[in-house]
Amino acid sequence: MAIVSPVIPDDEEPFMSMPRMPLPTMPGGRDWMGLLPPVAGALLGAAVLWAGRAALPAPRYATALTIGGAAMTALFALWAFIRLAWLAHRAWRAYRFRSGHPNAAESRELERREELTDSQEHARAVARGLALGGAFDLGRPWDVAIDANEQVLADCSSDYARYYSEDVHPLLPGTGVIEGSGGASAGLDAAPMERRRRLWARGQPDLQWRENQSVRALVTQRRVLVQRNDLHWLSFHYDAIVAIRPELPAGVLILEFESASPLRLAGPASAVTAVAAVYALFGAEGLRDHPGLEPLRIRDSGETSEAEDASDPDSEDDDGAQSRQEAVSPA
């Protein structure tokens, strides 16, 4: 079964994206150019008003020109004032931010970006350890029962969501699972396939991201376990994945399954889950070549070693450690 990371068309971007607040920046040239239309309109209105009051055209048009010019001047002047006030507020916020005085929303965004950077550094370490033979394990968590040979790669918080319509709901806790070659995957659609066909025959259902919440994510080399706010645990096994869509610059990972609603993880767990899933599906080659992991600057470190071995006959007596590093290392 081929597992791909397809390119999302522009009209499907909301499926992938999450709203993020941009940090304040100083207004640029285009922003200030936006003042030209209202200022030009106000000047034109003032000219019409002056022409009406000076009775330059026929006297019977003077009143109409005066009223029209006054209204035009007032409207465009108000537009210019609002635009100028917005630019001044933006410049003030950018100045305060650069001076080390962010507001509450900007502080949260800075924390999110710092968490994203830390999670990507951790994902690089996990990728390196997995590619070199799976030598990465944070140790067994004593509050969660996992298999004896499962390696814990991350235990952190994450933003969790599932993608489905109001007519197709994930199973309630304990009502059912599907079995894959590696075990059960939880949180599956309860609606039978025939019901789904009827829904699509009537028109596209109201699909959107639901169950948005902050959860605990326990990432292993086999699966990602999610503890929802209702304390129910869900397991998503990598061998049940049909499509994997990492958007690591945004800190978002989307996993799609054959018989389960798509899963979205955002935040600290997204990068390391993407690394673990890609490694489980594609091996070390996936860590090196998968385009979704490009932000981690993962590349083959064995090519240089092989080139050096070919040019140095004495290197053939080495124990082959470098040749085993088909693995990945950050740039």
* pLDDT tens digits, one per residue of 214-239: 999 999 988 999 999 888 999 999 99
Per-residue pLDDT band for 268 (boundaries 50, 70, 90) equals confident
Instruction: Based on the fold, state whether residues 44 and 165 are members of the same structural domain.
Output: no
Backbone angles phi, psi at 206, to 5 degrees: -80, 75
Task: Kindly state whether residue 320 falls inside one of the protein's structural domains.
Answer: no
Query: Who wins on pLDDT, 68 or 167?
Result: 68
Separation between Cα atoms, residue 229 and residue 159, nearest integer Å: 11
CB–CB of 180/237 below 8 Å? yes
Residue 321 in this model has a pLDDT that exceeds 60 = no
Instruction: Based on the fold, state whether residues 76 and 219 are members of the same structural domain.
Output: no
Q: Which residue carries 């100083």 as its tokens? A: 26
Could you give the number of structural domains in the chain?
2
Strands 241-247 and 263-266: unpaired
Instruction: Based on the fold, state whether residues 190 and 268 are members of the same structural domain.
Output: yes
**50, 66, 98 - which closes a domain:** 98
Task: Tell me the DSSP string of 270-322.
Answer: HHHHHHHHHHHHHTHHHHHH-GGGGGGTEEESHHHHHHHHHH-GGGGGS-STT
Instruction: Based on the fold, state whether residues 65 and 199 are members of the same structural domain.
Output: no
Instruction: Based on the fold, state whether residues 179 and 71 are members of the same structural domain.
Output: no
Q: Which residue carries 């599956």 as its tokens? A: 188
Residue 197 in this model has a pLDDT that exceeds 80 = no
Instruction: Based on the fold, state whether residues 149 and 259 are members of the same structural domain.
Output: yes
Residues in CB range of 213: below 8 A, 6 or more apart: 159, 160, 161, 228, 229
Backbone angles phi, psi at 104, to 5 degrees: -60, -45
Task: Kindly state whether residue 283 falls inside one of the protein's structural domains.
Answer: yes
Task: Kindly state whether residue 329 falls inside one of the protein's structural domains.
Answer: no
Instruction: Based on the fold, state whether residues 72 and 172 are members of the same structural domain.
Output: no
Instruction: Based on the fold, state whether residues 185 and 160 are members of the same structural domain.
Output: yes
Nearest to 136 by CA among 146, 123, 147: 123
Task: Kindly state whether residue 330 falls inside one of the protein's structural domains.
Answer: no
Instruction: Based on the fold, state whether residues 123 and 180 are members of the same structural domain.
Output: yes
Nearest to 293 by CA among 10, 2, 1, 5: 5
Instruction: Based on the fold, state whether residues 93 and 228 are members of the same structural domain.
Output: no
Instruction: Based on the fold, state whether residues 255 and 126 are members of the same structural domain.
Output: yes
Burial of 306 (0-12, 13-18, 19+ CB in 10 A): middle
Give the chain's length: 331
Q: What is the pLDDT of residues 152-180, one digit of tens each?
A: 888 888 899 998 877 655 544 333 333 44
pLDDT of residue 63: 82
Which residues form the domain of 235? Answer: 110-303
Q: What is the pLDDT of residues 239-251, one digit of tens each?
A: 999 999 998 888 8
Residue 73 in this model has a pLDDT that exceeds 70 = yes
pLDDT of residue 203: 55
| Helix axes of 104-131 and 268-282: crossing angle, nearest 10 degrees | 20
CB–CB of 19/82 below 8 Å? no
pLDDT of residue 204: 56
Separation between Cα atoms, residue 328 and residue 325, nearest integer Å: 8
| pTM (two decimals) | 0.61
